[in-house]
């Protein structure tokens, strides 16, 4: 948990610093430091959902291919 908190503090600090340096505004820097990580958090949630779905799809395809290969191998041996 400590690593997560320190990463969040670092992320907020970098977001604030970059926005402040570009705009010269503490308000914009603060808003970017809050809004950008919030949007990233939501985007990451959907990214994970899609990633899991694709991973399951890949695993299913690999399993089907293994079963088919085993069946073909068995069929060839029985000839």
User: Per residue of the chain (79 residues), what is the pLDDT tens digit?
Assistant: 788 788 888 888 999 999 999 999 999 999 999 998 888 888 888 889 888 888 887 767 777 777 777 666 666 666 6
Q: pTM score > 0.85 for this model?
A: no
Angstrom distance (rounded) from CA 1 to CA 36: 21
pLDDT at site 78: 64
If we measure between CA atoms, which residue out of 16, 8, 9 comes closest to residue 33? 16
Round to the nearest angstrom and report the end-to-end CA distance of the chain. Answer: 60
If we measure between CA atoms, which residue out of 7, 60, 63 comes closest to residue 37? 7
């Amino acid at each position: 948990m400590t690593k997560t908190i320190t990463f969040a503090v670092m992320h907020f600090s970098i977001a604030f610093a970059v926005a402040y340096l570009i705009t010269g505004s503490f308000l914009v820097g603060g808003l970017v430091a809050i809004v950008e990580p919030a949007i990233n958090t939501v985007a990451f949630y959907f990214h994970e959902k899609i990633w899991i779905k694709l991973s399951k799809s890949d695993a299913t395809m690999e399993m089907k291919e293994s079963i088919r290969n085993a069946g073909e191998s068995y069929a060839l041996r029985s000839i």
